[in-house]
Structure 1
């Protein structure tokens, strides 16, 4: 009996040892939650923040950093041109930019540019542009391919636009989803007061309609959608977020959903809101 028991115990230990690599393999397959290391760059001017660069020398990171170099060069040129136009109009000019980091790994990095500009004319302009990069390739994420269930179409390139311009995506499904979420999130009475219910009303299903900006967002653990409305109704724009279930329904790969979940849990975004100050004793 003693011999049989020893053999049984030995077999059990061997079985447990054999199972361990499988568990380790499964853990290795999950997306690492470590944030991507960013290299902060000096401001391009007093009012123009530079984009950060990614640390590392992999082909994907080299590709991303080369594009960030081009975008910073374009920003400097745009700021100079804005100042020239404003001065020619006798109104002065201003071009300011700051950068936020909605997601800094794993698997994806999103950088978002915020602009306040006045180059002469009737009124200043504000805009935001976000780019999500795939860290495995260094390419911008192809949202129509990544979310096939939404039937997204990317706007066609226009002559004269910068090579690195970020074009909107659009589809009837995306517009309906966005409007539904905006109405659901609106405090009672506010939407009618601003006339936004008219902007958000259902559109014919066969129209591509409104253009949208889209990016991966770690803080909300989802994909962010923002309407690129005309200036006259810009106040009705806002950001909504596709949840994991909505992403699955849109055909998103599980790897994207896992990366967003891991990024949210790890706090992989910046800047974060400052914690409220403790009340005085």
Structure 2
């Protein structure tokens, strides 16, 4: 039994032990994505008091528990993975109905996002029982936080998970994602990252951030134009190692600041609608950047004979 986290276990009991942890509930516990120190105090406490720990891989989870100094018998671990999740959900529900506390962990990060857990939670909820989330590490938000995405016209991001394995299907999905105005977050394995990089080259100069081995010793986070990703990966054999989060940055605003079609649509809408509404609809119709269209609307408003624009309501 490891003593490295002995003080953390004591801190977990002190900080989280006085809180209420209902019996007969499923605790969905986020675990570290690399660095074991990224566990939360509440997660440590729940893993201590759980009657059963359902997990994606029992051997992996047992190793993690022992690193924290948590002693759970093999009989307290229940394998729940993508191949048996629906079947094992029935077993978990039986335990919950007996008043047991069941914790669910995936191999790393937050369950139910790209790892198993969603079907289990759906079954528990359908049975009228409670699922309690314990927030923690997530490779998606970790990568986004340092990608340096600045896009006033495209707030938020789209999580697309893993791309299809077949080249034709992957290319089709990338063509669709190329039209997405928000940042797009993908996950990828080391043995496929070069194929994905080649496929993403169609995005040209659009910036893409690669984050590999997040929170581990050889973590590396770098941003390149999509067209240069494959060359960067091939420049060093180490660059293709580890699990990847791929962040496709939003497309740059269109350079055609005075597109005649866009200008005409805006003029028509300004003649009938408040300026903010006209700007929003023009951006939706043309795909143009809302800030730039708003500036164009202000200029047209100052030239009423040209635009026929009414005042904003």
Fold conserved between structures, TM > 0.5: no
TM-score for the superposition, normalised by structure 1: 0.26
Q: Which has the higher helix share?
A: 2
Larger radius of gyration: 2
TM-score for the superposition, normalised by structure 2: 0.24
Q: Which has the higher strand share?
A: 1
